[in-house]
Structure 1
Amino acid sequence: MIQDTLKNDMIDLYKKTFDYKFQKKTYESDINELKDTYAGLLKDVASACEGTEEDMTEVASCVPEYVAEQLAKMPNKRKREIAALDYNMNMVSYFVPLMGEAPSLMAKEMTQKMVEIWNEKMPEFKIGHSTVSGIQGGFKKGIFCYITTAVCQSLDRPDDCYELTTLREYRDQYLLATKEGEEIVKEYYNIAPTIVKRIDKEPKAAEIYRNIWEVYLSPCIHLIEENKKEECKALYTDMVRKLEEKYLYS
């Protein structure tokens, strides 16, 4: 059985990770700073992972139990949903990946158990498993499709749907082939996650995403099909600028 001190330290670390803003340009340094600052805690987590199965389960469950308790205290459904978005984002972007860096071969199994417990306790706010290397690999793919992915998910389109595949190919083969295009991708990567997060908090998020699809993304696809690649870039840039103005600065 693990000590209450370890449980409390993990919860405190989870709260601390809310201080970090999820961005490509700072993510690696953020994770390294957390690993250095909490090296002792990660070693304690590793020791628990290599103990009994009960020890691992206790380590994996402490933060999901804490978050479930916090959400249960919120009587207002809308406030609970908004808070859950922040809890989920923090969990998959920082806490789960950081716990996966614990110096133990069992760390991945423990974080997978953590995600499993989270989804059992909060089935309406499910998360997926994440790792530092996985997130960094995602960064390298570029952000041109970040907003598009959110829109397609809201419309129940799969990750390998025609629209996403078309825009990814456009990004990789056209945008990233020029210095200007690289700068566009880089800029989008730094602002798009926050835009999506804020849209998700809107009461009519699904309606907003459908409007983005109809006004911007569907026309972009048609422009690519017609080989009007510069026109597509201009339209997509206009979309991001308008979303940036509305959801970042208003």
Structure 2
Amino acid sequence: KQKNSVADTYLEISSVSIRNLAIQYPKADSLALKNINLTFGPGQMIGIVGPSGSGKTTLVNALMGMLKPSSGDILIGDKPVQDISPDDLLANVGLVSQDYGRYELTVRENLLLGLPQEAVERLGDADLWSALSVACADDFVRGLEGGLDAQLGESFGGVGLSGGQWQRLALARVVLRDAPVWVLDEPTSAVDAETEEEIFARLKVAAVGRLVVLVSHRAWTLRGVDSVVVLDGGCVVEQGTYRDLTTDPTSRFRKLFASQLEGK
């Protein structure tokens, strides 16, 4: 691990296993997830797709320990996720959610947000610029007056950022965290297609050796993943490689992304 890791020691994450998982929200008449069985290994990038309401975000929240299983288990390494302390989970799992934070602090404070003090003291400017580069955020930050120390947010007299720029800062924050598991829930939804392609090329390099769970609604972003899991109605209805799912005319994946795949 890098000398600037968030934690000096990590959980032994040989895999992330989901066994017969079911989740039902309070007062709901039906299960949001049912009979989910998946195993992810380190060094893999796994895509999660499905129509709206299929259970993608519920699965992400369960992986993060934010939802308690109604039945079944989620194991990170050999530990049930609910038995891992919040601090350990924070150190071992980096998350970019759809509701990425817009923290009106300096760029530096945005990147270091949530890190233990000992990690903050070890990190240098080169580490911050490296994380920004992976998220294709270094160029626009260099253009800000003050660079890493530029004040963000018009409420405090700082500079206003676009949604895509805020999102790239959130992604850089996860890269800087250096956790062994990354959960990326639509991490480039506010970014233009050209920048998105470059971000994923850089992420693929930066993510070597990590387990990455990627939720996406854009088919092409899944070309580089090791396996695609298709959810529908709270169930896994299909799993396979991008190539297999796009070449099979009967696949649920192909039907789901038909308009995006036309002419590809």
TM, length-normalised to structure 1: 0.26
Structure (1/2) with the larger strand percentage: 2
Q: Which has the higher contact order (CA 8 A, sep 6+)?
A: 2
**Which has more helix, going by share of residues?**
1
